[in-house]
Amino acid sequence: MRSKFLARTRKWIGASALAILVGLGGGTAFLAASSPMAAAQVTPVAQITAPDLTAQNPGFANLVDAVKPAVVSITVEGREKPPAIDQNNNDFNGQIPDLPDDNFLKKFFQQFGAPQGRGPQGGPAPQGRRFAAAGSGFIISPDGYIVTNNHVVENASKVTVTFDNGDTKSAKVVGTDERTDLAVVKVDGATDLPFVKFATDEARVGDWVIAVGNPFGLGGTVTAGIVSARGRDVAGSNYGDFLQIDAAVNMGNSGGPTFNLKGEVIGVNTEIFSPNGGNVGIAFDIPAKTVQQITSSLIKTGTVTRGFLDVRIQDVSRDIADSVGLKEAKGALITDVTDNGPGAKAGLKSGDIITKVDGQEIDNALALSRTIAGDQPNQTVQLTVWRDGKETTISATLGTFSNKGDDNTKPNTPPSDDQGVTQSSVGLTLVPNGNGDGVLVQDVDQDSVAADKGFQVGDTILEVDNKKVSTGKQFEAAIKAVKDSGRSTALIKAERDGSVRFIGLPLDASKG
Protein backbone atom coordinates (compact mmCIF):
# COMPACT_ATOMS: atom_id res chain seq x y z
CA MET A 1 0.00 0.00 0.00
CA ARG A 2 2.78 2.40 0.92
CA SER A 3 4.83 1.71 -2.24
CA LYS A 4 1.78 2.27 -4.40
CA PHE A 5 1.14 5.60 -2.71
CA LEU A 6 4.74 6.67 -3.27
CA ALA A 7 4.55 5.61 -6.89
CA ARG A 8 1.40 7.63 -7.41
CA THR A 9 3.02 10.58 -5.64
CA ARG A 10 6.12 10.51 -7.82
CA LYS A 11 4.00 10.26 -10.93
CA TRP A 12 1.90 13.25 -9.89
CA ILE A 13 4.96 15.37 -9.14
CA GLY A 14 6.56 14.46 -12.47
CA ALA A 15 3.43 15.30 -14.40
CA SER A 16 3.01 18.60 -12.63
CA ALA A 17 6.61 19.60 -13.28
CA LEU A 18 6.20 18.78 -16.95
CA ALA A 19 3.00 20.79 -17.19
CA ILE A 20 4.66 23.80 -15.59
CA LEU A 21 7.61 23.67 -17.96
CA VAL A 22 5.40 23.38 -21.02
CA GLY A 23 3.17 26.14 -19.76
CA LEU A 24 6.09 28.46 -19.20
CA GLY A 25 8.01 27.67 -22.34
CA GLY A 26 5.29 26.75 -24.76
CA GLY A 27 7.64 24.49 -26.73
CA THR A 28 9.93 21.51 -26.80
CA ALA A 29 12.99 23.42 -25.59
CA PHE A 30 11.75 23.24 -22.03
CA LEU A 31 10.86 19.58 -22.43
CA ALA A 32 14.44 18.89 -23.46
CA ALA A 33 15.73 20.88 -20.47
CA SER A 34 13.87 18.52 -18.18
CA SER A 35 16.00 15.57 -19.29
CA PRO A 36 18.79 14.31 -16.97
CA MET A 37 21.52 15.53 -19.33
CA ALA A 38 20.15 19.05 -19.47
CA ALA A 39 19.50 19.14 -15.73
CA ALA A 40 23.15 18.33 -15.05
CA GLN A 41 24.16 21.32 -17.12
CA VAL A 42 22.10 23.78 -15.04
CA THR A 43 22.99 22.50 -11.56
CA PRO A 44 23.35 25.54 -9.24
CA VAL A 45 26.90 26.28 -8.15
CA ALA A 46 25.89 26.45 -4.46
CA GLN A 47 24.26 23.02 -4.44
CA ILE A 48 25.41 20.88 -1.49
CA THR A 49 27.02 17.56 -2.37
CA ALA A 50 26.63 14.85 0.28
CA PRO A 51 29.33 12.18 0.75
CA ASP A 52 28.68 8.87 -0.99
CA LEU A 53 27.97 6.46 1.85
CA THR A 54 27.07 3.61 -0.48
CA ALA A 55 30.77 3.02 -1.17
CA GLN A 56 31.27 2.10 2.47
CA ASN A 57 29.81 -0.67 4.60
CA PRO A 58 26.42 0.85 5.52
CA GLY A 59 25.83 -1.39 8.54
CA PHE A 60 27.16 -1.38 12.10
CA ALA A 61 27.85 -5.11 12.41
CA ASN A 62 31.64 -4.82 12.56
CA LEU A 63 31.40 -2.08 15.18
CA VAL A 64 28.94 -4.09 17.27
CA ASP A 65 31.17 -7.17 17.13
CA ALA A 66 34.04 -5.08 18.49
CA VAL A 67 32.33 -3.29 21.39
CA LYS A 68 29.53 -5.63 22.49
CA PRO A 69 31.74 -7.91 24.67
CA ALA A 70 32.49 -4.93 26.95
CA VAL A 71 28.80 -4.19 27.65
CA VAL A 72 27.17 -5.97 30.59
CA SER A 73 23.77 -6.40 32.14
CA ILE A 74 23.44 -5.54 35.82
CA THR A 75 20.85 -6.94 38.21
CA VAL A 76 20.52 -5.73 41.77
CA GLU A 77 18.68 -6.74 44.92
CA GLY A 78 18.14 -4.60 47.96
CA ARG A 79 15.70 -2.83 50.23
CA GLU A 80 14.04 0.52 49.82
CA LYS A 81 14.54 3.09 52.54
CA PRO A 82 12.18 2.35 55.46
CA PRO A 83 9.20 4.63 56.03
CA ALA A 84 9.63 7.54 58.41
CA ILE A 85 8.52 7.03 62.01
CA ASP A 86 7.28 9.90 64.11
CA GLN A 87 8.03 10.41 67.80
CA ASN A 88 5.04 8.30 68.74
CA ASN A 89 6.45 5.35 66.77
CA ASN A 90 3.64 5.51 64.25
CA ASP A 91 4.57 4.22 60.79
CA PHE A 92 1.88 6.32 59.19
CA ASN A 93 2.79 9.54 61.03
CA GLY A 94 -0.67 9.56 62.56
CA GLN A 95 -2.40 9.36 59.18
CA ILE A 96 -4.98 6.84 58.06
CA PRO A 97 -3.84 4.94 54.95
CA ASP A 98 -5.37 6.07 51.66
CA LEU A 99 -7.99 3.37 51.14
CA PRO A 100 -11.37 3.33 49.34
CA ASP A 101 -14.28 4.50 51.48
CA ASP A 102 -15.96 1.09 51.34
CA ASN A 103 -12.83 -0.78 52.41
CA PHE A 104 -13.35 -2.47 55.78
CA LEU A 105 -9.76 -1.65 56.82
CA LYS A 106 -10.40 2.06 56.44
CA LYS A 107 -13.35 1.83 58.83
CA PHE A 108 -11.12 -0.10 61.23
CA PHE A 109 -8.42 2.59 61.14
CA GLN A 110 -11.01 5.33 61.61
CA GLN A 111 -12.31 3.61 64.72
CA PHE A 112 -9.05 2.42 66.29
CA GLY A 113 -6.41 4.62 64.69
CA ALA A 114 -3.58 3.84 62.29
CA PRO A 115 -1.51 0.76 63.14
CA GLN A 116 1.36 1.34 65.51
CA GLY A 117 4.84 1.01 64.12
CA ARG A 118 7.84 -0.34 65.89
CA GLY A 119 11.04 1.40 66.78
CA PRO A 120 13.34 1.96 69.73
CA GLN A 121 10.44 1.70 72.19
CA GLY A 122 8.39 -0.94 70.42
CA GLY A 123 10.81 -3.47 69.01
CA PRO A 124 12.90 -3.65 65.83
CA ALA A 125 12.78 -0.70 63.44
CA PRO A 126 10.80 -1.35 60.25
CA GLN A 127 12.63 -2.31 57.09
CA GLY A 128 11.89 -1.07 53.59
CA ARG A 129 10.42 -3.32 50.94
CA ARG A 130 12.73 -5.68 49.10
CA PHE A 131 13.25 -4.89 45.44
CA ALA A 132 15.00 -6.26 42.36
CA ALA A 133 16.01 -4.17 39.38
CA ALA A 134 17.99 -4.40 36.17
CA GLY A 135 20.17 -2.02 34.24
CA SER A 136 23.24 -1.84 32.04
CA GLY A 137 26.93 -1.03 32.32
CA PHE A 138 30.23 -1.22 30.49
CA ILE A 139 33.76 -2.33 31.38
CA ILE A 140 36.44 0.38 31.38
CA SER A 141 39.46 -1.65 32.57
CA PRO A 142 40.71 -5.22 32.21
CA ASP A 143 40.65 -5.67 35.99
CA GLY A 144 36.88 -5.32 36.21
CA TYR A 145 35.84 -1.71 36.81
CA ILE A 146 32.37 -1.13 35.37
CA VAL A 147 30.47 2.14 34.87
CA THR A 148 26.72 2.36 35.40
CA ASN A 149 24.10 4.76 36.78
CA ASN A 150 23.71 5.59 40.46
CA HIS A 151 19.98 4.91 40.24
CA VAL A 152 20.69 1.38 38.98
CA VAL A 153 22.67 0.33 42.09
CA GLU A 154 21.19 2.71 44.69
CA ASN A 155 20.37 0.90 47.96
CA ALA A 156 21.62 -2.38 46.46
CA SER A 157 22.73 -5.12 48.83
CA LYS A 158 23.63 -7.52 46.01
CA VAL A 159 24.94 -6.70 42.52
CA THR A 160 25.28 -9.31 39.78
CA VAL A 161 26.95 -8.69 36.43
CA THR A 162 26.07 -10.75 33.37
CA PHE A 163 28.64 -10.66 30.58
CA ASP A 164 27.96 -10.84 26.86
CA ASN A 165 28.92 -14.52 26.77
CA GLY A 166 26.39 -15.34 29.49
CA ASP A 167 28.81 -15.65 32.42
CA THR A 168 27.68 -14.08 35.70
CA LYS A 169 29.81 -12.60 38.47
CA SER A 170 29.12 -10.85 41.75
CA ALA A 171 30.25 -7.23 41.95
CA LYS A 172 30.67 -4.67 44.68
CA VAL A 173 29.83 -0.98 44.56
CA VAL A 174 33.04 1.07 44.53
CA GLY A 175 31.39 4.48 44.72
CA THR A 176 28.35 6.48 43.64
CA ASP A 177 27.62 10.10 42.79
CA GLU A 178 23.97 11.03 43.08
CA ARG A 179 24.41 14.50 41.59
CA THR A 180 25.55 13.17 38.22
CA ASP A 181 23.76 9.81 38.55
CA LEU A 182 26.97 7.85 38.02
CA ALA A 183 28.39 4.82 39.81
CA VAL A 184 31.29 2.38 39.53
CA VAL A 185 31.10 -1.31 40.44
CA LYS A 186 33.91 -3.86 40.33
CA VAL A 187 34.22 -7.57 39.64
CA ASP A 188 37.03 -8.91 41.81
CA GLY A 189 39.67 -11.26 40.46
CA ALA A 190 39.40 -10.14 36.83
CA THR A 191 42.60 -9.54 34.86
CA ASP A 192 41.86 -9.65 31.15
CA LEU A 193 38.30 -8.46 30.57
CA PRO A 194 37.48 -6.73 27.26
CA PHE A 195 37.05 -3.01 27.85
CA VAL A 196 36.28 0.17 25.96
CA LYS A 197 37.64 3.71 26.17
CA PHE A 198 36.04 7.14 26.29
CA ALA A 199 35.96 9.43 23.28
CA THR A 200 38.40 12.35 23.39
CA ASP A 201 36.59 14.35 20.71
CA GLU A 202 33.24 15.89 21.60
CA ALA A 203 30.22 14.44 19.83
CA ARG A 204 28.69 16.60 17.13
CA VAL A 205 25.01 16.95 16.34
CA GLY A 206 24.28 14.59 13.46
CA ASP A 207 26.98 12.03 14.33
CA TRP A 208 25.96 8.38 14.01
CA VAL A 209 25.78 6.54 17.33
CA ILE A 210 24.78 3.11 18.62
CA ALA A 211 23.44 2.32 22.09
CA VAL A 212 24.00 -1.11 23.65
CA GLY A 213 22.23 -2.31 26.77
CA ASN A 214 19.68 -4.39 28.62
CA PRO A 215 16.24 -2.89 27.82
CA PHE A 216 13.38 -4.64 29.67
CA GLY A 217 15.87 -7.33 30.66
CA LEU A 218 16.63 -8.24 27.05
CA GLY A 219 20.41 -8.14 27.37
CA GLY A 220 22.74 -7.43 24.47
CA THR A 221 20.34 -5.19 22.55
CA VAL A 222 21.78 -2.75 19.99
CA THR A 223 20.00 0.32 18.60
CA ALA A 224 21.25 3.02 16.25
CA GLY A 225 20.57 6.70 15.70
CA ILE A 226 22.24 10.08 15.71
CA VAL A 227 23.18 12.77 18.19
CA SER A 228 20.06 14.96 18.12
CA ALA A 229 21.25 17.85 20.29
CA ARG A 230 23.88 18.89 22.81
CA GLY A 231 23.84 20.84 26.05
CA ARG A 232 20.40 19.72 27.15
CA ASP A 233 19.32 20.71 30.67
CA VAL A 234 17.16 17.86 31.95
CA ALA A 235 14.79 18.63 34.81
CA GLY A 236 16.03 17.23 38.09
CA SER A 237 19.66 17.28 37.04
CA ASN A 238 22.16 19.33 39.02
CA TYR A 239 24.66 19.90 36.24
CA GLY A 240 22.86 19.39 32.93
CA ASP A 241 24.87 19.40 29.67
CA PHE A 242 23.31 16.16 28.41
CA LEU A 243 23.63 14.76 24.93
CA GLN A 244 20.29 14.01 23.27
CA ILE A 245 20.17 10.96 21.01
CA ASP A 246 17.40 9.31 19.02
CA ALA A 247 18.70 5.73 19.24
CA ALA A 248 15.98 3.68 20.95
CA VAL A 249 16.56 3.67 24.72
CA ASN A 250 14.14 2.09 27.19
CA MET A 251 13.94 1.01 30.81
CA GLY A 252 16.94 -1.23 31.49
CA ASN A 253 19.23 0.75 29.16
CA SER A 254 20.19 2.95 32.12
CA GLY A 255 23.93 2.89 32.68
CA GLY A 256 24.65 1.51 29.23
CA PRO A 257 27.06 3.13 26.77
CA THR A 258 26.51 5.06 23.57
CA PHE A 259 29.30 4.60 21.02
CA ASN A 260 30.56 6.63 18.09
CA LEU A 261 31.68 4.95 14.88
CA LYS A 262 35.20 4.56 16.28
CA GLY A 263 33.88 2.34 19.06
CA GLU A 264 34.51 5.01 21.70
CA VAL A 265 32.02 5.82 24.47
CA ILE A 266 30.55 9.28 23.95
CA GLY A 267 28.02 9.06 26.78
CA VAL A 268 26.09 7.01 29.33
CA ASN A 269 22.35 6.47 28.86
CA THR A 270 20.62 7.90 31.90
CA GLU A 271 17.13 9.26 31.12
CA ILE A 272 14.42 9.24 28.50
CA PHE A 273 11.65 11.67 27.70
CA SER A 274 8.45 9.72 27.26
CA PRO A 275 4.73 10.28 27.79
CA ASN A 276 4.15 6.52 28.12
CA GLY A 277 7.35 5.08 29.61
CA GLY A 278 8.62 3.73 26.29
CA ASN A 279 10.97 5.00 23.63
CA VAL A 280 9.80 7.98 21.58
CA GLY A 281 13.18 8.91 20.16
CA ILE A 282 14.34 11.29 22.90
CA ALA A 283 17.03 9.93 25.22
CA PHE A 284 19.70 11.69 27.24
CA ASP A 285 23.33 10.74 27.80
CA ILE A 286 25.84 11.98 30.36
CA PRO A 287 28.77 13.18 28.20
CA ALA A 288 32.00 11.15 28.18
CA LYS A 289 34.05 14.03 29.59
CA THR A 290 31.87 14.19 32.71
CA VAL A 291 31.74 10.40 33.05
CA GLN A 292 35.51 10.08 32.84
CA GLN A 293 36.08 12.79 35.44
CA ILE A 294 33.55 11.41 37.95
CA THR A 295 34.41 7.72 37.56
CA SER A 296 38.14 8.42 37.87
CA SER A 297 37.50 10.11 41.22
CA LEU A 298 35.21 7.28 42.37
CA ILE A 299 37.84 4.66 41.55
CA LYS A 300 40.59 6.57 43.36
CA THR A 301 38.73 7.63 46.51
CA GLY A 302 35.20 6.22 46.38
CA THR A 303 33.81 9.77 46.49
CA VAL A 304 33.68 12.91 44.36
CA THR A 305 34.99 16.27 45.57
CA ARG A 306 33.86 19.49 43.92
CA GLY A 307 34.78 23.13 44.03
CA PHE A 308 32.33 25.37 45.84
CA LEU A 309 31.64 29.12 45.95
CA ASP A 310 28.66 28.89 48.35
CA VAL A 311 26.53 31.42 46.51
CA ARG A 312 23.04 31.18 45.09
CA ILE A 313 22.65 32.04 41.43
CA GLN A 314 20.11 32.47 38.66
CA ASP A 315 20.07 33.09 34.91
CA VAL A 316 20.32 36.59 33.45
CA SER A 317 17.18 37.46 31.51
CA ARG A 318 16.99 40.14 28.83
CA ASP A 319 15.17 42.43 31.27
CA ILE A 320 17.86 41.94 33.91
CA ALA A 321 20.61 42.59 31.37
CA ASP A 322 18.87 45.83 30.35
CA SER A 323 18.49 46.92 33.96
CA VAL A 324 22.23 46.64 34.69
CA GLY A 325 23.59 47.74 31.32
CA LEU A 326 24.79 44.38 29.97
CA LYS A 327 24.76 44.10 26.18
CA GLU A 328 23.98 40.36 26.21
CA ALA A 329 21.69 38.33 28.47
CA LYS A 330 24.49 36.01 29.60
CA GLY A 331 26.20 35.11 32.84
CA ALA A 332 25.12 33.92 36.29
CA LEU A 333 23.51 36.45 38.64
CA ILE A 334 24.33 36.02 42.34
CA THR A 335 21.16 36.25 44.43
CA ASP A 336 22.66 35.47 47.82
CA VAL A 337 26.12 34.98 49.35
CA THR A 338 26.62 32.78 52.41
CA ASP A 339 28.47 34.51 55.24
CA ASN A 340 32.07 33.33 55.63
CA GLY A 341 31.77 31.14 52.53
CA PRO A 342 34.38 31.09 49.74
CA GLY A 343 32.38 33.59 47.69
CA ALA A 344 31.94 36.00 50.58
CA LYS A 345 35.64 35.78 51.46
CA ALA A 346 36.49 36.61 47.84
CA GLY A 347 34.31 39.72 47.98
CA LEU A 348 31.36 38.57 45.88
CA LYS A 349 28.07 40.36 46.56
CA SER A 350 24.41 39.84 45.83
CA GLY A 351 23.69 41.44 42.46
CA ASP A 352 27.08 40.56 40.93
CA ILE A 353 26.95 38.84 37.56
CA ILE A 354 29.73 36.34 36.85
CA THR A 355 30.42 36.39 33.10
CA LYS A 356 33.69 34.40 32.94
CA VAL A 357 35.70 31.90 34.99
CA ASP A 358 39.41 31.83 34.14
CA GLY A 359 38.56 33.46 30.82
CA GLN A 360 35.89 30.89 29.94
CA GLU A 361 32.55 32.44 28.96
CA ILE A 362 29.65 31.70 31.33
CA ASP A 363 26.32 31.63 29.50
CA ASN A 364 23.99 30.89 32.40
CA ALA A 365 23.73 29.68 35.99
CA LEU A 366 24.01 26.02 34.98
CA ALA A 367 27.26 26.73 33.14
CA LEU A 368 28.71 28.35 36.26
CA SER A 369 27.66 25.38 38.41
CA ARG A 370 29.28 22.92 36.01
CA THR A 371 32.47 24.97 35.70
CA ILE A 372 33.01 25.50 39.43
CA ALA A 373 32.07 21.91 40.24
CA GLY A 374 34.64 20.74 37.72
CA ASP A 375 37.42 22.54 39.62
CA GLN A 376 39.05 21.18 42.74
CA PRO A 377 38.63 22.48 46.32
CA ASN A 378 41.30 25.02 47.35
CA GLN A 379 41.86 25.89 43.69
CA THR A 380 42.05 29.63 42.95
CA VAL A 381 39.96 30.89 40.03
CA GLN A 382 39.69 34.28 38.36
CA LEU A 383 36.10 35.49 38.14
CA THR A 384 35.07 38.19 35.68
CA VAL A 385 32.23 40.06 37.37
CA TRP A 386 29.81 42.72 36.12
CA ARG A 387 29.16 45.15 38.97
CA ASP A 388 27.86 48.74 39.04
CA GLY A 389 27.85 48.97 35.25
CA LYS A 390 31.42 47.86 34.68
CA GLU A 391 33.60 44.77 34.56
CA THR A 392 35.97 43.76 37.34
CA THR A 393 38.08 40.70 38.16
CA ILE A 394 37.86 38.88 41.49
CA SER A 395 40.16 36.09 42.66
CA ALA A 396 38.37 33.34 44.61
CA THR A 397 39.71 30.25 46.38
CA LEU A 398 37.13 27.48 46.14
CA GLY A 399 35.83 25.55 49.12
CA THR A 400 34.66 21.92 49.22
CA PHE A 401 31.09 21.13 48.32
CA SER A 402 28.97 19.34 50.90
CA ASN A 403 25.29 18.35 50.92
CA LYS A 404 24.46 20.48 53.93
CA GLY A 405 20.88 21.64 54.18
CA ASP A 406 19.53 25.11 54.81
CA ASP A 407 16.18 24.85 56.53
CA ASN A 408 16.38 27.93 58.73
CA THR A 409 14.38 30.18 56.42
CA LYS A 410 10.78 31.05 57.21
CA PRO A 411 8.15 32.45 54.86
CA ASN A 412 7.27 36.05 55.49
CA THR A 413 3.82 36.93 56.82
CA PRO A 414 2.06 40.23 56.22
CA PRO A 415 1.46 42.57 59.17
CA SER A 416 -1.92 42.34 60.85
CA ASP A 417 -2.99 45.91 60.03
CA ASP A 418 -3.02 48.07 56.93
CA GLN A 419 -0.60 50.70 58.20
CA GLY A 420 1.95 51.89 55.67
CA VAL A 421 0.09 50.59 52.63
CA THR A 422 1.51 51.97 49.37
CA GLN A 423 -0.05 51.70 45.93
CA SER A 424 3.03 51.63 43.71
CA SER A 425 3.27 52.91 40.16
CA VAL A 426 4.06 49.43 38.84
CA GLY A 427 0.89 47.66 39.97
CA LEU A 428 2.05 46.39 43.38
CA THR A 429 0.40 47.13 46.71
CA LEU A 430 3.19 47.20 49.31
CA VAL A 431 3.24 47.06 53.10
CA PRO A 432 6.12 47.03 55.63
CA ASN A 433 7.60 43.62 56.43
CA GLY A 434 6.91 42.87 60.06
CA ASN A 435 9.33 39.93 60.01
CA GLY A 436 12.45 41.60 58.69
CA ASP A 437 13.91 43.43 55.72
CA GLY A 438 12.13 44.76 52.67
CA VAL A 439 8.50 45.39 51.85
CA LEU A 440 5.77 42.80 51.36
CA VAL A 441 3.54 42.50 48.31
CA GLN A 442 -0.02 42.70 49.62
CA ASP A 443 -1.74 42.77 46.23
CA VAL A 444 -0.86 42.58 42.53
CA ASP A 445 -2.77 44.34 39.75
CA GLN A 446 -3.39 41.49 37.30
CA ASP A 447 -3.33 43.95 34.38
CA SER A 448 0.16 45.17 35.28
CA VAL A 449 3.60 44.22 33.98
CA ALA A 450 4.45 43.18 37.55
CA ALA A 451 1.85 40.41 37.23
CA ASP A 452 3.34 39.38 33.89
CA LYS A 453 6.76 39.07 35.53
CA GLY A 454 5.38 36.69 38.16
CA PHE A 455 5.08 38.83 41.31
CA GLN A 456 2.71 37.27 43.84
CA VAL A 457 1.04 38.21 47.10
CA GLY A 458 3.43 37.44 49.97
CA ASP A 459 6.61 38.13 48.00
CA THR A 460 9.19 40.29 49.76
CA ILE A 461 10.94 43.01 47.78
CA LEU A 462 14.38 43.53 49.29
CA GLU A 463 16.12 45.86 46.84
CA VAL A 464 15.49 48.07 43.83
CA ASP A 465 18.50 48.84 41.63
CA ASN A 466 20.76 47.28 44.31
CA LYS A 467 19.39 49.69 46.95
CA LYS A 468 17.62 48.32 50.01
CA VAL A 469 14.00 49.34 50.52
CA SER A 470 11.96 49.00 53.71
CA THR A 471 8.96 51.21 52.93
CA GLY A 472 6.69 51.80 49.99
CA LYS A 473 8.01 55.35 49.67
CA GLN A 474 11.57 54.10 49.37
CA PHE A 475 10.44 51.63 46.71
CA GLU A 476 8.76 54.39 44.68
CA ALA A 477 11.77 56.69 45.07
CA ALA A 478 14.06 53.95 43.74
CA ILE A 479 11.76 53.32 40.78
CA LYS A 480 11.72 57.04 39.98
CA ALA A 481 15.53 57.17 40.18
CA VAL A 482 15.78 54.39 37.59
CA LYS A 483 13.44 56.28 35.26
CA ASP A 484 15.31 59.56 35.79
CA SER A 485 18.56 57.85 34.84
CA GLY A 486 17.11 57.08 31.43
CA ARG A 487 16.77 53.33 31.97
CA SER A 488 13.55 51.55 31.13
CA THR A 489 13.99 48.46 33.34
CA ALA A 490 14.41 48.23 37.12
CA LEU A 491 16.36 45.41 38.77
CA ILE A 492 14.23 44.05 41.63
CA LYS A 493 15.60 41.70 44.28
CA ALA A 494 12.74 39.65 45.70
CA GLU A 495 12.30 36.72 48.07
CA ARG A 496 9.68 33.98 48.12
CA ASP A 497 9.61 31.13 50.64
CA GLY A 498 13.25 31.69 51.53
CA SER A 499 14.44 31.72 47.91
CA VAL A 500 15.93 34.96 46.56
CA ARG A 501 15.72 35.96 42.90
CA PHE A 502 16.33 39.02 40.75
CA ILE A 503 13.67 40.20 38.32
CA GLY A 504 14.00 42.76 35.54
CA LEU A 505 10.82 44.88 35.70
CA PRO A 506 10.08 46.99 32.56
CA LEU A 507 8.89 50.46 33.51
CA ASP A 508 7.64 51.71 30.17
CA ALA A 509 5.65 48.64 29.09
CA SER A 510 1.89 48.45 29.08
CA LYS A 511 -0.60 45.63 28.63
CA GLY A 512 -3.05 45.69 25.85
Would you please indicate which residues are annotated as catalytic (active-site) residues?
Answer: 151, 181, 254
Sorted by sequence, the CB contacts under 8 Å of residue 449 that are 6+ apart come out as: 426, 427, 505, 506, 509, 510, 511
Rg (CA), the chain: 31
Report the C-alpha gap between 207 and 226 in whole angstroms: 5
Closest CA to 279 of 257, 302, 247, 309: 247
Report the C-alpha gap between 397 and 291 in whole angstroms: 25
Closest CA to 237 of 283, 179, 184: 179
Burial class (CB in 10 A: 0-12, 13-18, 19+), 333: buried
Report the C-alpha gap between 308 and 377 in whole angstroms: 7
The shares of helix, strand and coil residues in the chain, as percent rounded to the nearest 5, are: 25, 30, 45
In the 3-class helix/strand/coil scheme, how is 476-489 assigned residue by residue?
HHHHHHHHHCCCCE
Longest dimension (CA), the chain: 102
H-helix or E-strand containing 190? none
Three-class SS of residue 205?
Answer: coil
Residue 255's region, left for phi above 0, alpha for psi from -120 to 50, else beta, is left
Report the C-alpha gap between 22 and 30 in whole angstroms: 6
Report the C-alpha gap between 190 and 176 in whole angstroms: 21
Report the C-alpha gap between 272 and 413 in whole angstroms: 41
Report the C-alpha gap between 248 and 421 in whole angstroms: 59
Report the C-alpha gap between 261 and 210 in whole angstroms: 8
Sorted by sequence, the CB contacts under 8 Å of residue 500 that are 6+ apart come out as: 312, 335, 336, 350, 462, 493, 494
